Copies of this chain bind each other. A is one copy, B any other.
């Protein structure tokens, strides 16, 4: 079924507010076999009319967010009723709910506020536990231009829309969704190879499968491969993808690489310390974003200054003098120093040149050494990420985490 999301709100188009509705709604409806095929954002006011008219022709389900409030630029309710040739009638229950809600908050009731109790005749009210404006569901009905789509009018504030979606919208969608043919969806999160290599490895074989839909999403140091097909075809696709890319797939859920690594460590009752120079704390930050990281993550050192590498990690000043702070030897000494100092099972270390300054001919900006100590040996990788500082830190930390993931796999 063709699903369209229409967001109304001048604040969205001015860039004052990040529009999170599409992400939320898409994630909610996907498990029901429903996919959003288009999303449109328009300002408050009558612009909603044009957006609805376009979508009425082709959409089978339309979610409209915003424009249900009490102010003059909230016109979603009125315009929808007009388009469907329905009159607005006051809903006595809603009037009571709204009146009581305002009373308990000591807010004075005004005619404007009571407008929110007006509903198109025959619309189903979707209760709003977190605001005064109710949601509305309008089932398909004959119009001049054919049958209208399933229409869901939802409040703009996410804190109101999201609970309403779970309580009232999903049950209705499950009923509607029965009509749509089922399809299966899988996303593979791949680390350590670029988008074009992933396509080269599996693209042609996958596209040879009947009716399979393929998508790639390149993130920093990661590629998401998305496959949509009938359940049978999906299993064939899964065999191909795993056959070619198994070692590079770290997740088929929304789990981040750091979440996977923290879980691997916890399963092995192993602990981790990190010693960071070029990643500047970002590696520790990613690990400590994982709930429960304190079970496995002992400590980190951001040893930016050479003195700190010596005083905190026991790196030999002569090594730094002889090889330079950005070198295989120093990366190794940092990892081994951190592992011993914090008595951790494993330790990761990063040293490199994030830039923009500090580069040389021998060691240009983007040079990085990643070390992993533990399990009886220390491995060091020499890498090169010429990029801005944040990208450099992302790619260096991604490689460090993946090095450990491989060791723990």
Contact = CB atoms under 8 A, between A and B. Distances in A.
Interface in A177-219: 185, 187, 194-196, 199-200, 203, 207, 214-219
A187 to B, nearest CB: 7
Q: How many copies of this kind of chain does the complex include?
A: 2
Contacts of A195: 69-71
A104 interface: yes
A374 interface: no
A37 interface: yes
A69 B361 CA distance: 31
Nearest to A7: B39
A27 B15 contact: yes
A380 interface: no
Interface in A280-311: 280-285, 287-289, 291-294, 297-305, 307-308, 311
Given A15-B22, A217-B15, A305-B342, A281 B291 contact: no
A14 B159 contact: no
A356 to B, nearest CB: 5
A299 B304 contact: yes
A18 B18 contact: yes
Nearest to A26: B15
A337 to B, nearest CB: 12
Contact of A300 (B69, B185, B301): B301
A393 interface: yes
A190 to B, nearest CB: 13
Nearest to A28: B15
A361 to B, nearest CB: 13
A105 interface: yes
Contacts of A360: none
Contact of A285 (B163, B285, B356): B285
Contacts of A73: 214-216
Contact of A215 (B22, B27, B44, B112): B44
A215 B304 contact: no
A135 interface: no
Given A13-B35, A302-B301, A71 B203 contact: yes
The 10 closest A-B pairs by CB, nearest first: A280-B288, A281-B284, A15-B26, A300-B302, A299-B308, A281-B281, A15-B27, A281-B285, A11-B217, A39-B41
18 contacts: A10-B215, A13-B35, A13-B37, A18-B20, A18-B23, A38-B40, A40-B41, A71-B195, A104-B384, A159-B391, A276-B281, A282-B285, A284-B284, A291-B355, A291-B357, A300-B300, A300-B301, A300-B302
Interface of A: 9-20, 22-27, 30, 35-44, 47, 51, 54, 69-73, 104-107, 110, 112-113, 130, 157, 159, 163, 185, 187, 194-196, 199-200, 203, 207, 214-220, 224, 226, 274, 276, 279-285, 287-289, 291-294, 297-305, 307-308, 311-312, 341-343, 354-358, 384, 386-391, 393
